Amino acid sequence: MSTGMKGPGIFLAQFMGDTAPFDTLDHMAEWAAGLGYVGVQIPCNDRLIDLKQAAESRSYCDDLRGMLDRHGIQVTELSTHLQGQLVAVHPAYDTLFDGFAPPEVHGRPAERQAWAVEQVKLAARASANLGLKAHATFSGALAWPYVYPWPQRPAGLVEEAFAELARRWLPILDTFEEAGVDCAFEVHPGEDLHDGATWERFLAAVGEHPRARLLFDPSHFVLQQLDYLDFIDRYHDRISCFHVKDAEFNPSGRTGVYGGYENWVDRAGRFRSLGDGQVDFSSIFSKMAQYGYDGWAVLEWECALKRAEDGAREGAPFIDAHIIRVTDHAFDDFARSGVDQAAIRKLLGLSDGAA
């Protein structure tokens, strides 16, 4: 029996800074609790968590949870979005993505990949030590430069890209299996896993691995003009994480899905604070309740217009108002007839002993 969705939570990545209350996990937990959040999704950043120590020491994790408990906060998940991105990088993006890794591996793609793989494996073990069910990450991308089929893609290119992606992720997924934690990939442009079709390719390539799961974020569906409600219907049994993020898409004769290289404010598709965009959250939360999603609802704030602090302040009550506390009995139980099996057979016109 599902215990129902948990929340509201908040992803801390977009709020980290050099000054209080955004400089330490302790300060950020106190700040989040003051806004009404009961959970924080923690990016695996040295400022907030010592990932190696968390992977190796239960007492470290107990102390971290104890500190959060004092603020009435739980860990929703850990996140390795930046490290997961580096598991698979096309050479065209080497320079740009070097910034996600420590300086000692800059300009050294193989070493950078090995570092990233180890980081995600450490996050699996750290998640287990923290008592978490799921982990949030990116898949990385080898085929993304070829997303539009011009020039014509040679036969086998996409298949080999996904085969290689699977080869890189299978040992990581096995580590998650050993840890008893789901590895939830955020479906996101710029990743080889960016829609349902690419998710199916990857899932087949990793042999339907039980720990290969999904992080559902409807904002990326709006920007790609995908049906996010149908996505839930199709893949709900693999959704382990949920980013509550809004977006809008207002195409014109000048710009559309591809964005025309415009900045975020001027793009047809842009992220917005909760309630300011076009996402039908009432229907999303209903679908998630229908299918028994019992993970966290976590605000990821990204907005082209609104101040971050205002988006965070508005996010907690927005999520709380949308979470459906799943009923434990049918609404029409009061009208039960109380008939027994013999009465049921009589209602069907079946006599005693009839076949």
pLDDT of residue 336: 76
Domain span holding position 245: 6-347
| Residue 320, burial from CB neighbour count under 10 angstroms (0-12, 13-18, 19+) | middle
State how far the Cα of 276 lies from the Cα of 100, in Å rounded to an integer.
Answer: 30
Mean pLDDT estimate for the chain: 96
Helices 58-69 and 25-34: angle between axes, nearest 10 degrees:
30
Asked if residue 130 has pLDDT above 50, the reply is yes
Q: What is the pLDDT of residues 253-294, one digit of tens each?
A: 999 999 999 999 999 999 999 999 999 999 999 999 999 999
CATH number at residue 170: 3.20.20.150
Asked if residue 93 has pLDDT above 80, the reply is yes
End-to-end CA distance of the chain: 36
Q: What is the pLDDT of residues 296-306, one digit of tens each?
A: 999 999 999 99
Residue 353 lies in a domain: no
Q: Which of 4-18, 102-116, 205-219, 325-339 has the lowest mean pLDDT?
A: 325-339
pLDDT of residue 1: 46
Residue 352 lies in a domain: no
State how far the Cα of 121 lies from the Cα of 127, in Å rounded to an integer.
Answer: 10
pLDDT of residue 339: 85
Residue 147 lies in a domain: yes
Asked if residue 42 has pLDDT above 80, the reply is yes
State how far the Cα of 123 lies from the Cα of 293, in Å rounded to an integer.
Answer: 23
Residue 355 lies in a domain: no
Residue 238 lies in a domain: yes
pLDDT of residue 333: 65
Contact in structure between 301 and 245 (CB atoms under 8 Å): yes
Q: Which residue has the higher pLDDT, 2 or 58?
A: 58
Asked if residue 355 has pLDDT above 60, the reply is no
DSSP string, 30-89: HHHHHTT--EEEEE--TTT--HHHHHH-HHHHHHHHHHHHTTT-EEEEEEEHHHHHTTSB
| Whether pTM exceeds 0.75 | yes
Indicate the number of domains in the chain: 1
Q: What is the pLDDT of residues 320-341, one digit of tens each?
A: 999 998 877 666 666 677 788 8
Asked if residue 2 has pLDDT above 60, the reply is no
Residue 354 lies in a domain: no
In the chain, pLDDT over 70 holds for what percent of residues?
A: 96
